[in-house]
Amino acid sequence: MSRLSPYGPERRSFFTTFHAGVTSLAALAVGGVAMAKPKSAARWEPTRHEKDDWLDHVSAKHRLVFDTITADGLGDALAFATNFILVNKSDYGVESKDLAVIVVVRHRSTPFGYNDAIWAKYGTALAPITPIEDPKTKQAPKINLYNSGEYAGLMRSRGTTLDSLTKQGVQIAVCSMATRGIADILAGKVGGNSDAINSELIANLVPNARMVPAGIVAVNRAQERGYSLVSS
């Protein structure tokens, strides 16, 4: 005589169905993980613009950009750029020609992208913009103080001049937007034509300098092309 189940046929049917369902859910869960796994997002790549190709330095083993917005900040950048070049040479055997170094002058450091001819003519009006004074005379400078060997030891750059760096391949990027604003200020102070002064400023940059559409954009584009950033 067969032994009857205490649960009855309906209870047995429920457990059979339940266990089958659990097995099916487990299988779906395992398969579902694989099916629901999101695809890898496409890797973001910055858009390249031909006007930024000057940033490329095919033979450069290291790339560094300094973003400066004040006179003191520019002085620090010049000193640090010298350290960068010296240590790469002494400790790593990397020559300056194999380094890509850019110093961006924008906002209040922009006037130091202009040569002595501009400072001799507009120094009185330029000095309050940055602001700076001749450490010897305590008056408005008549030369670019960061490009003078005579003043090198008196400046925050610790003896480094723009010229000494550009001769080693360092490039100076001068903000066009700031230059336009400076031209407007100078025109108001000396009674000249803003467009003419703007053209004059552009024509009188320090050696190995170039105008860029905006200093902040140059900083961005440099980083997108592999430059490490130092802000000062």
pLDDT in tens, 41-64: 788 999 999 999 999 988 899 999
Whole-number Å distance between alpha carbons of 118 and 201: 7
pLDDT tens track for 113-132: 999 999 999 999 999 999 99
Mean pLDDT value of segment 164-179: 98
Fold adopted by 52-231: Hypothetical Protein Ychn; Chain: A, (3.40.1260)
Whole-number Å distance between alpha carbons of 86 and 157: 15
Q: Does residue 156 register a pLDDT over 50?
A: yes
CB neighbour burial string for 76-107, b if at least 16 within 10 angstroms, e if fewer: bbbbbbbebbeebeeeeebebebbbbbbbbbb
Q: Say if pTM beats, i.e. exceeds, 0.75.
A: yes
For residue 125, count other CB atoms closer than 10 A to its CB. Answer: 17
For residue 183, count other CB atoms closer than 10 A to its CB. Answer: 22
Please state, for a pLDDT cut of 90, what percent of the chain lies above it.
80
Q: Is 175 helix (H, G, I), strand (E, B) or coil?
A: strand
Residue ranges of alpha helices (H) inside the chain are 8-36, 71-92, 116-126, 162-166, 176-190, 194-202, 215-224
The burial class, CB within 10 Å (0-12 / 13-18 / 19+), for 162 is: buried
Q: Does residue 21 register a pLDDT over 60?
A: no
The burial class, CB within 10 Å (0-12 / 13-18 / 19+), for 149 is: exposed
What is the pLDDT at residue 181? 98
Please give the backbone phi and psi of residue 58, each rounded to the nearest 5 degrees, phi first. -55, -40
Q: Does residue 186 register a pLDDT over 80?
A: yes
pLDDT band at 74; cut points 50, 70, 90? very high
Q: Does residue 31 register a pLDDT over 90?
A: no
